[in-house]
Amino acid sequence: MAHLAHDPNARPDERTTAQLGAVLSKTAEVKNDHLFVGGVDLAELAREQGTALYVMDVAQITQQLRAYKAAFGPDNRVAFAGKAFLNKAMVRLLAGEGCYLDVSGGGELAIARSAGFDTAHIIVHGNNKTEIELAEAIEATAGLIVADCFEELERISRLATERGVTQSILLRIKPGVVADTHEFIRTGAEDSKFGFGLSDGMAQTAVKMALQLPGIRLKGLHVHIGSQIFAIAPYAEAVAVLADFCTLLQSEYDFTPEVLDLGGGLGIAYQASDEPTAIKELGALITTAVAEAFASAELPLPQLIVEPGRSIVATAGITLYTVGAVKELKGIRCYVAVDGGMTDNIRTALYDAKYEAVIANKAGCKRDALVTIVGKHCESGDVVAIDASIQTPQPGDIVAVLGTGAYNATMSSNYNAQVRPAVVFVEDGTATVVQRRETYADLMARDI
């Protein structure tokens, strides 16, 4: 089937909202035919705040963070991947939960710092961090910088030496493990722009270089095998590969890593039929694999870091839209146009992502209509959900697209000079705007 094409055999699934299982956030409930999250009536919230609107269920986020902490234990660290969702309120929430933060580049670092996050708990990522970004990270005394290439190793060494400091680093390794996910978000294979390869000897050269360069303290290794992963066996494969490499490093350089960072990647349920692996199982698999592999290699047990993004925030997020038009094309399909689209959710166009949607003000009814939810932008590819089952839509209805808390706000754009939605945290019946909607003035703020 062509990209974004409609399946002529698709039928509405007739499920009600309550039957959407793991796609729903922890506090989702249906009362008086309305969808409530965090004790807040979403249809009412949409009318108060306007749409498009990003809503985040705080209880769901904290539940996931705590599940990771419990699954990996107190000796290991959970570093939320800020690329999935980041603003000052999220940074404060993470600090309150005692989590670390993985930032990708200088902008995310600036957001974390502006919210007062402890920089010792920050891990700086990126496959081509600029000289300025590296200097910012070093001056901010970031806990760890993950070096991705030889040029970065030299830059970190020089910048730290110039400042009379020693910067702790990890080396990003390509474990040569192939995760079963979309090729755009698969990162651990040998043919990847990220990190140092093992089979070509680059990883070993990088370790040797890191151990020799002044201003650098090599603390360990990092791998990230991909994202939206359901079958978790590749994590154990990556651990085995790393343990073998560590055995080599021990004998060649008398180096043993204090830290192993295993990245993020755990998948979530975007559709009711999806069956993601539980955080607890991922924790058990990784901690057991590391304990066994390092014990049999007679190496000391390293501290583990994990960097989950999507599995912390995706299910917590709901995007609310108002239906503007319903276009029934006889014998073809029904288009439901909403007041957002590819500017607030590029994932459908980019990855063929699938979403479940409900009408927040008809949430108790069966989803008896099969529609394609499209945005308001000047592109045929401006789609939010193809062949989505929803309750029979009418203009003015509030569509809630579920599972949009990860990589939606952070990948949003101003195409068509669309203003970005506000972000609202909901918790215990209270809705708090943590990021206001953009204004037209914001759109022109950089124009001179």
- Interface ranges with ligand LLP (CB under 6 A): 81, 83-84, 102, 125, 185, 224, 227-228, 263-266, 307-311, 347, 351, 407
Give the Å distances, CA to CA, from 53 to 15, 29, 287, 384: 24, 19, 39, 14
Question: Which lies closer to ligand LLP via its Cβ, residue 174 or residue 362?
Answer: 174
Kind of pairing between the strands at 317-329 and 398-402:
antiparallel
Question: Which lies closer to ligand LLP via its Cβ, residue 43 or residue 290?
Answer: 290
- Across 307-414, where does the E strand assignment appear? 317-329, 333-338, 357-359, 369-374, 383-390, 398-402
Give the Å distances, CA to CA, from 142 to 89, 105, 107, 363: 20, 12, 14, 46
Q: At what angle do helices 131-139 and 105-114 cross, to 10 degrees?
A: 30
Question: Which lies closer to ligand LLP via its Cβ, residue 312 or residue 359?
Answer: 312
Kind of pairing between the strands at 303-306 and 317-329:
unpaired
**What are the tokens at 34?**
């309305």
The residue assigned the tokens 């590296």 is 134
Q: Least CB distance from residue 194 to ligand LLP, whole Å? A: 7
Question: Which lies closer to ligand LLP via its Cβ, residue 81 or residue 337?
Answer: 81
DSSP for 23-88 reads: GS-TT-EEETTEEEETTEEHHHHHHHH-SSEEEEEHHHHHHHHHHHHHHH-TTSEEEEEGGGS--H
Kind of pairing between the strands at 122-125 and 53-57:
unpaired
CB 180 within 8 A of CB 267: no
Q: Least CB distance from residue 39 to ligand LLP, whole Å? A: 27
Question: Which lies closer to ligand LLP via its Cβ, residue 227 or residue 435?
Answer: 227
Question: Which lies closer to ligand LLP via its Cβ, residue 160 or residue 173?
Answer: 173
CA distance 67 to 99: 12
Q: Least CB distance from residue 84 to ligand LLP, whole Å? A: 5
Among 149, 246, 334, 378, the active-site one is 378
CA distance 170 to 135: 17
Catalytic (active site) residue 378: yes
The residue assigned the tokens 């974004």 is 4
Instruction: Please state the φ and ψ torsions of residue 185, each to the nearest 5 degrees.
Output: -120, 25
Q: Least CB distance from residue 127 to ligand LLP, whole Å? A: 9
CA distance 199 to 209: 17
First to last CA, the chain: 46
Question: Which lies closer to ligand LLP via its Cβ, residue 35 or residue 169?
Answer: 169
Kind of pairing between the strands at 422-427 and 398-402:
unpaired
CA distance 137 to 302: 24
Q: Least CB distance from residue 172 to ligand LLP, whole Å? A: 8
Question: Which lies closer to ligand LLP via its Cβ, residue 195 or residue 393?
Answer: 195
Q: Least CB distance from residue 12 to ligand LLP, whole Å? A: 26
Task: For residue 383, give the amino acid letter.
Answer: V
Which active-site residues does the annotation give?
378
